[in-house]
Amino acid sequence: MTPFRAAAVLVALAGLACGPAGTSGEPAAPAQPRTTAAPVPAEAPQPRAIPTIPSSPGLHRVRQVIDGDTLTVAGIGTIRLIGVDAPEKQGGFREAEPYGDQATAYLKTLADGQLVRVEYDGERTDRFNRTLAYVFLEDGTLVNEAVIRAGWAEHYRRFEYRRKDDFRRAEREARQARRGMWGR
């Protein structure tokens, strides 16, 4: 051991034997660990988490819009909008159709991230195991009908469903007003 290091050890031992300077034999307070972080106030604000569970019973959050007539909803899974036949988008499983990307974009602006209520009619799933449903926004807007009324989808003609007459009228109105794909 070098003379300098030996002297440092002796000074440290002497300090321990004598106790801290300026005390009257009382034990020293325990040493506090050194930290580089600033002390946290007792009432530190907590970060706000995005709720994953809706505040109202029966509401579910739209997680993703897949295309103009399909979306995923928390707690349910993939939903195919009953009565809506939107053109296929680019990059789907089938060949892209004109206005498919616009139909998808419209549904995204309408429903993506929104809380929705789901209503069923007849068969609960299709051959791809998607849930068949009507989807309502919190304000009561029926998403299925809104896509048709905006001109980005046709009403589905092949199957029977409760709101078929309403959807047929919405499509006729969109065609007459030349909205969406009908105005091109």
pLDDT digits 0-9 by tens, 49-85: 434 444 467 999 999 999 999 999 999 999 999 999 9
Find residue 70's DSSP bridge partners: 67, 80
Q: What is the pLDDT at residue 100?
A: 84
pLDDT over 90 percentage in the chain = 59
Q: Hey, what are 113's tokens?
A: 């991230």
> pTM higher than 0.75 for the full model?
no
Residue ranges and CATH numbers for the domains of the chain are 59-183 (2.40.50.90)
Classify burial at 133, counting beta carbons within 10 Å of its beta carbon; exposed 0-12, middle 13-18, buried 19 or more: buried
CB neighbour list of residue 108: distance below 8 Å, 6 or more residues apart? 65
Catalytic residue among 61, 130, 154, 171, which?
130
Q: How confident is the model at residue 45 (pLDDT cuts 50, 70, 90)?
A: very low
Q: How far apart are the C-alpha atoms of 87 and 69, rounded to whole Å?
A: 9
Known catalytic residue at 80 = yes
SS3 161: coil
Catalytic residue among 88, 145, 154, 171: 88
